[in-house]
C-alpha cells in the first residue's frame, strides 16, 4: 500500500464521513480532466475535510486547481481493491462511550479510596466498625463468629457477582480483545509476506512497500494498546462498587477482632488441616486466620452463585 492509500485509510478511520467526501473528489476529478476545485465540491464536503486532504498530501497543486497525488493508490484505497491486508483495528467498531464511567461510578471510586485508610488508622476503623456494628451486631450476638464471617462472605459474593454481571460489558471487552488479535494477525501476515518476497528476490520497491505496511501495522498496534485503557476501565468499574461495599464489612471484622476483641470460645476456631487456632494467628505467612477463612468462604460462594445465577464473565 502506498503512502497515499495509508493516509486515506487514516483519514477514514478518523472521520467515517470522509469516505463520501473522497468519492465526491474522485467524481469531480473524472469530470474535469483530473483537476478538482473547492467551489465545485463545497456542497459535498466540509472545509475541514478539504483542508485535511491538502494537509495530508492526498490533494496537491495542479495547473489551476488541485489534483489527486496518486490516482491509482486513491482508487485502490477507496474501492478496497488493494493487496494490503488493510487496517485491522478499523474493522472492529468500538463505541468509546460504552466504557466511560458515570458520575455515580466516579463517586463510588472516591468513596472507596476514602475508606481504604481505615486499614491503617484506628480512628477511621473505629468509626466505620461501630457504624456497621449497628447492622451486624445483633447477628454477632447470636451466632458464633465463624458463622458471622460465613454470612458476610455470602453477602459479598452475592453483590459482587451481580455488580460484575450488570456493570461489566463483556461484549465491548470482547471487541477490545478482537481488535488486538486482528492487529497481531495482520502483523504476522505482513512479516510472512515480506519474508516470502525477500526469498523470491522481489523488487526493492515491493519490499519497501511491505516494510511500510508493516510499520503502519506496528503503529496501529501501539494505538490499539493505548486505546485498550477502555477495557481496563470496564474491568475496574464494578470493582469500585464492590470495594465501596466490601471495605466497611472488612473493617468491621478487623475492628471486631482487633479493637473489641473476642473472648472464650469465640476467640478460637477449628479449621480444616489446621485444627484449633486463634483468629489472629498467622495462617498463611502474616495473613491471620480470619482473613483466610473469609477469602475461602467468599471465593466458594462466588463460584456457586455465578453458576446458579448463570453469570458468565468471559468476553
3-state secondary structure of 228: coil
Residues 24 and 111 in one domain: no
90 belongs to a structural domain? no
Instruction: Report the CATH number at residue 7.
Output: 1.10.10
C-alpha cell at 112: 472507596
79 belongs to a structural domain? yes
pLDDT tier at 130 (50, 70, 90 boundaries)?
very high
Residues 75 and 109 in one domain: no
Nearest to 159, CA basis, from 295, 305, 300, 304: 305
pLDDT of amino acid 314: 61
Question: Distance between alpha carbon 106 and the CA centroid of its chain, in Å?
Answer: 16
186 belongs to a structural domain? no
Residues 74 and 106 in one domain: no
- Are residues 85 and 213 in contact, defined by beta-carbon separation less than 8 angstroms? yes
Residues 237 and 164 in one domain: yes
Helix H or strand E encompassing 36: strand 35-36
Residues 292 and 157 in one domain: yes
- Are residues 256 and 128 in contact, defined by beta-carbon separation less than 8 angstroms? no
Helix H or strand E encompassing 275: strand 275-278
68 belongs to a structural domain? yes
Q: In the chain, which ranges are continuous DSSP H helix? A: 3-14, 18-31, 38-41, 47-55, 71-79, 103-115, 122-142, 145-167, 170-199, 204-227, 229-255, 289-308
Longest CA span, the chain: 98
Residues 10 and 71 in one domain: yes
25 belongs to a structural domain? yes
What is the rounded average pLDDT of the residues 2-13?
70
Residues 67 and 40 in one domain: yes
Residues 71 and 104 in one domain: no
pLDDT of amino acid 92: 52
Residues 75 and 114 in one domain: no
- Are residues 280 and 290 in contact, defined by beta-carbon separation less than 8 angstroms? yes
Residues 22 and 109 in one domain: no
pLDDT in tens, 230-241: 677 777 888 999
Asked which of 66-70, 83-87, 152-156, 234-238 is least confident by mean pLDDT, the reply is 83-87
Residues 105 and 244 in one domain: yes
Domain count, the chain: 2
Is-above-0.85 flag for pTM?
no
Range of the domain at 160: 100-169+232-308
- Residue owning grid cell 494505538: 223
Nearest to 71, CA basis, from 2, 18, 21: 2
Whole-angstrom Cα distance, residue 90 to residue 178?
11
Whole-angstrom Cα distance, residue 152 to residue 249?
7
pLDDT at 84 over 80: no
- Are residues 156 and 252 in contact, defined by beta-carbon separation less than 8 angstroms? no
pLDDT in tens, 192-241: 878 887 887 777 777 787 788 788 778 877 777 776 676 777 778 889 99
272 belongs to a structural domain? yes
Amino acid at each position: 500500500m502506498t503512502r497515499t492509500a495509508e493516509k486515506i485509510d487514516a483519514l477514514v478511520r478518523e472521520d467515517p464521513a470522509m469516505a463520501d467526501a473522497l468519492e465526491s473528489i474522485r467524481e469531480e476529478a473524472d469530470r474535469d480532466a483530473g483537476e478538482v476545485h473547492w467551489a465545485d465540491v463545497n456542497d459535498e464536503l466540509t472545509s475541514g475535510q478539504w483542508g485535511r486532504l491538502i494537509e495530508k498530501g492526498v490533494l496537491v497543486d495542479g495547473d489551476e486547481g488541485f489534483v489527486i497525488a496518486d490516482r491509482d493508490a486513491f482508487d485502490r484505497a477507496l474501492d478496497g481493491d488493494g493487496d494490503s491486508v488493510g487496517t485491522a483495528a478499523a474493522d472492529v467498531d468500538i463505541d468509546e462511550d460504552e466504557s466511560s464511567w458515570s458520575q455515580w461510578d466516579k463517586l463510588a471510586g472516591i468513596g472507596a479510596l476514602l475508606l481504604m485508610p481505615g486499614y491503617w488508622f484506628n480512628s477511621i476503623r473505629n468509626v466505620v466498625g461501630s457504624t456497621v456494628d449497628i447492622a451486624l451486631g445483633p447477628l454477632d450476638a447470636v451466632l458464633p463468629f465463624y458463622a458471622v464471617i460465613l454470612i458476610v462472605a455470602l453477602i459479598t459474593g452475592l453483590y459482587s457477582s451481580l455488580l460484575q454481571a450488570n456493570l461489566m460489558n463483556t461484549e465491548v471487552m470482547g471487541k477490545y480483545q478482537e481488535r488486538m488479535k486482528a492487529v497481531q494477525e495482520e502483523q504476522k501476515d505482513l512479516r510472512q509476506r515480506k519474508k516470502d518476497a525477500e526469498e523470491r528476490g522481489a523488487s526493492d520497491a515491493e519490499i519497501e512497500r511491505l516494510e511500510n505496511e508493516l510499520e503502519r501495522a506496528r503503529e496501529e498496534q501501539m494505538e490499539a494498546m493505548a486505546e485498550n485503557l477502555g477495557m481496563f476501565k470496564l474491568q475496574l468499574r464494578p470493582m469500585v462498587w464492590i470495594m465501596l461495599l466490601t471495605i466497611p464489612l472488612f473493617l468491621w471484622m478487623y475492628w471486631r477482632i482487633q479493637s473489641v476483641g473476642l473472648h472464650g470460645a469465640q476467640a478460637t476456631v477449628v479449621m480444616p488441616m489446621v485444627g484449633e487456632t486463634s483468629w489472629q494467628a498467622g495462617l498463611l505467612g502474616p495473613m491471620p486466620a480470619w482473613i483466610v477463612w473469609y477469602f475461602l468462604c467468599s471465593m466458594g460462594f462466588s463460584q456457586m452463585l455465578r453458576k446458579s445465577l448463570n453469570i458468565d464473565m468471559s468476553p
